[in-house]
Structures are given as C-alpha cells and as structure tokens.
Structure 1
Amino acid sequence: MARIPYADPGRPEHREAAAHIVASRKRLGHLHRMLLHSPPVARGWIEMYDAVRWKTVLSGKLRELVMCQVAAINGAEYEWAAHAPIALREGATQAQLDALPDWSKADVFDAQERATLALCDAMTRHVHVPPDVFAAAKAVLPERELVELVVTIAGYNCVSRVIEAFEINGTDPLP
C-alpha cells in the first residue's frame, strides 16, 4: 500500500493536470495519481518525461536499457515492470534484460551498449562519473545523444526514488 492515499483526479484542483496526463499517457497510472497531489509538479513531470521518452534522437533501445538498469540497481520493481516490455519492443533481447544486473560479464551487449551501461552504473551508484567512463560514452555517442542519455539516466533515477519513497507498487487499487 502506498504511504499516502492516491489523489482524486475528480477534485476540481486536480482535473486540469489529470486531463493533461491522460492526453499524453492515455491513462492515469499509480505514479501519476500520486503526483496529482501537486498539480504543477504532475504537469511538469509529464512535460519532462514526454521530452525524454518521445522527443529525443537517442535510440529507444539504449533509452529503455538504461531505464531498466536504473530500476534494477535501485530495486524499483514497478519501474522495471513498466519498462522491460518497452525495452523488448525497442529491440533489446530477453538475454540482455536478464544480464543487466551483471552486464559487464555478459557477452550480449555491443560496445555502445556497454559504454552506455557503464555510464548508467556510475551515475546511479556513485553520482560522480570517472573520466574514463565518460570518455567511453562520448566516443560512441554524438553530443546531443550523450546529453539525452545523461538526462534519461538522471531522470529515471528520480522516477525510481519517487516510486520507492511512496512505496508505489502498481497493485494498489485506485479509488
């Protein structure tokens, strides 16, 4: 059970933000219902993550691999459950998803994926990225994609932290 009740999208102060979310995502999920407690945050959240997910040139496969890796590192099962199917649709394999917890020892990732995952691990586990890890990512991605990758990793660390702080698990009944 989430630590606080989910917001009621029917309340007058939540309606506009709820409509904004539904226009983008087609539904109000558990995370969105929690964010509705602060309508400006809910709207801003959707704008930010719509940009990260649908307005970047970073490959969908890399984007979803790092989202899943962030979820794996942070123990965010709700986030993993949301993004693993998308990762498969974007070209990741089940073998890659299975290997994520110990990806550096697996032979299922190419050089670009390995550099991307190393950057993800450094940002997620340590915040500070060693120069050689950043240089490896910089060598395989153009600057725009590198910016998009870093923002995606940072953003989905935020997602998992919000989900885990509120204990959102996706199974709670929504009123």
Structure 2
Amino acid sequence: MTAPAARDRSPRIAPGGLRQVGPFTWLLARISGRIAGTGPLALFLTLGRHRRLFHAWLWFAGRLMPGGRLPRRESELVILRVAHLRGCRYEWEHHVRLGHRAGLGPADIDRVTQGPGAEGWTPRERALLTAADRLHHHRDLDDDTWRLLREHLTEPECIELCMLASHYEMLATVIAALRIQPDAPR
C-alpha cells in the first residue's frame, strides 16, 4: 500500500483522550490495540469523539466481524481486498495482522492484491473476492456473480457479504476523509 502524500498525513481530527472519548472507548481502544499488537486503535479514539455514533457503529461492525456468519478467514479476505482496492493503508495494515490470526499466510495476503483471478483460491474464496471486486467497481452484483455466490453461500451469508464489503468501503472513506493514521506496532 502506498502512503498518502506528505500534505495528507496529519489527522483532521486527532484521536481523543480519556476525557474526549470516555472510559469505555478509551479502555476498548487500548485492549483492542493490545490484541492487534499495536498501540491504542486510532480509529476507535477518533470515532469515539462522537460517543453515541461510535457505540452504535461498534455494535453493528461487531456483528459483521468478528461476530458474523462468514468464517473469519473469509471475512478477512474480503476486508483486505476492499482495503487494497481502496488504497486504505489503515485497513490494510490492521487486517493483515488480524488476517494472520485468522489463518491467512503471506501467500494468501499477496494473492489478495492480485485479485480473484490469481491461482490458489478455492472456488468459494474466488466467489467472495469476485463479489468484493464487483461491489467496489460497480456498486452492484451482476447475475453471473450472484449465481456464483449462491453456489457457495447461503442467503444470510450473501446478505452479510454485501454488507461486509460495503461497510469496509464506507469505513475506508471515513478513514481517508479524517486522515486517520495507521496504528504503530507495539
């Protein structure tokens, strides 16, 4: 992933401290960072400045990942593909770490950048990545992609896939607009 230009590096809204985000978000950012192998999550400390919205978003996002029906490995593949397509360094770096924990190896992560046409994907993984690409480029799924998904996913999984990919597209937009910086490794 390429870093934003130097003029784009400073956050538009700085991550908040305990007083700005409250004890729950402050502690959650630290615990989540420890789990991720980083310092406190800048995303949480920035979005946490709008406490009500952050808490609602956190509940929703947690239902997609890690609490979704798709296996974590597959969720991480979709998220990494979106992060790659969007050029979102924050999402990419964070989910490379989480992807490793979900069973993705270096070859898998390299293949994510090559896309669904790369050798080595299972038919189900190829269907997921094809759908992520279609949603990114066309904001829709054509009938062929839908048929391919339905060969491998249940209806609830199809709904979740569409929401997962779209959610991380939205999140990449927020991260870019607010200039949220990647978390430093611990």
TM-score of the alignment, normalized to the shorter chain, above 0.5 = yes
Contact 1:61–1:91 (Cα < 8 Å) also in 2: yes
Aligned twin of 1:9: 18
Determine which of 67, 72, 75 is the counterpart of 2:79: 67
Moved more, 70-79 or 80-89: 80-89
* 1:81-126 CA distance string (max 9 Å, x none): 0001221221222112112222233211010000000000011122
Q: CA deviation at 1:70?
A: 0.4
Equivalents in 1 of 2:72, 2:138: separation in Å? 25
Matched, 1:30 2:42: yes
Q: Secondary structure at the match of 2:169?
A: helix
Aligned twin of 2:156: 144
Identity across matched positions, percent:
23
Amino acid at match of 1:64: E
Q: Secondary structure at the match of 1:135?
A: helix
Aligned twin of 2:99: 87
Equivalents in 2 of 1:40, 1:157: separation in Å? 22
Contact 2:134–2:141 (Cα < 8 Å) also in 1: yes
Determine which of 130, 142, 147 is the counterpart of 1:135: 147
* 1:41-97 CA distance string (max 9 Å, x none): 110111011111132221111100000000000000111100012212212221121
Equivalents in 2 of 1:20, 1:145: separation in Å? 32
Q: Secondary structure at the match of 1:100?
A: helix
Aligned twin of 1:154: 166
Q: CA deviation at 1:20?
A: 7.8
Equivalents in 2 of 1:171, 1:123: separation in Å? 27
Q: CA deviation at 1:130?
A: 1.0
Length-normalised TM-score, structure 1: 0.86
C-alpha RMSD over aligned residues: 2.2
Distance 1:23 1:51, change over 3 A: farther
Distance 1:22 1:96, change over 3 A: closer
Matched, 1:114 2:126: yes
Q: Secondary structure at the match of 2:147?
A: helix
Unaligned runs of 5+ in 1: none
Amino acid at match of 2:25: A
Q: CA deviation at 1:26?
A: 6.6
